Amino acid sequence: MNTEEYQHRTYPIKMQYQTRGIHLNDAQAIKILQYEEDKDFFSLKYFFSQWEEWDYEQDTLLQILNHEQYTAYEKKLKEAIQQYQQDLTERDKNIAKDVAYVEELLQFHKTNIFPFLSAYPTALHLGFIDQSSKIEYLKKEYATFLKESKKEILVNHFRMYKNFQPNRLKHLILGNKIDHLFPNYQDFKYKMEEPTTTINNFIVSKLPKRLYETSYNKPKDSLYKKMETWKEQIRIIREKHHTEKVGIWYKEDQQNEDKSFQDLHMSLLLFDKDMYGLDN
């Protein structure tokens, strides 16, 4: 890149910093241009959080700007950080209603869904007694999935939001607890490694095509009828809090009824009477 091209590309940078009261020379503008190209390079795998981007920016500009320039930059940065923290806090207030919804949903699982399923026939009555070892393997993998999901929630939350969105964190952790009570097969299947996928696909191939073909669909007390009741009760809870669906088994897929049934049936096979070690 020749001098004329550099001048053309660094001009916007000089104007940007000038609005902050910082007058860059050509050498400084070129270094900042190189920094911004590295920072803004698009990648699906690697990206900065806002906090990390600011850390990178501070470290870079400390080496480029003189003391007076850096002092002016630091003053504007502190204002930007303060505003960003306020914005995060304000947005978190809007999540409060979602937290109240998931708290009530978790309680509904504990007092209604989980006790019923705990007393209900297990894989033996679902026609999978000869596949019990494979199902136990899937359940062990699902237990790992739950722990990894919680770790992912914690790492991503504090990386992106630090301590400024406690409602958001609580909302996600409550959702993870619900996944202990009623397995979230839909998310689990997309994060399986190849050996687990192979076993999973084998079990799926053995599933009946429709819910009413299974032995547990009996009049009055059938699981199918119970789930229809639960879906309606959860709909009422959701409308009460004016929020979106959370959970897995009552997600409806009108485009693919067979696929929805497969996901539901697999969630039932993964159900654990010990709640996968959930302590509260």
Q: Is 244 left (phi over 0), alpha (psi -120 to 50) or beta?
A: beta
Query: How far apart, in whole angstroms, are the C-alpha atoms of residue 6 and residue 40?
Result: 18
Whether residues 13 and 137 share a domain: the answer is: no
For 69, other C-beta atoms within 10 Å of its C-beta total 18
CA atoms in the 13 A half-sphere facing the CB of 23? 0
Domain boundary among 91, 107, 140: 91
pLDDT at position 93 is 95
| Closest alpha carbon to 243 in 109, 150, 87, 104 | 104
Query: How far apart, in whole angstroms, are the C-alpha atoms of residue 2 and residue 239?
Result: 62
Q: Any alpha helices (H) in 50-131, and if so which ranges?
A: 50-64, 67-93, 96-108, 114-118
pLDDT at position 279 is 79
Query: How far apart, in whole angstroms, are the C-alpha atoms of residue 15 and residue 10?
Result: 9
Domain boundary among 91, 106, 133: 91
Domain encompassing residue 68: 3-91
pLDDT at position 159 is 97
* Residue 55 tokens, joined: 């850390």
Domain boundary among 91, 106, 125: 91
pLDDT in tens, the chain (280 residues): 556 677 788 999 999 999 999 999 999 999 999 999 999 999 999 999 999 999 999 999 999 999 999 999 999 999 999 999 999 999 999 999 899 999 999 999 999 999 999 987 665 556 777 888 999 999 999 999 999 999 999 999 999 999 999 999 999 999 999 999 999 999 999 999 999 999 999 999 888 765 544 444 444 457 778 888 898 899 899 888 876 655 544 454 444 556 677 888 899 899 999 999 997 6
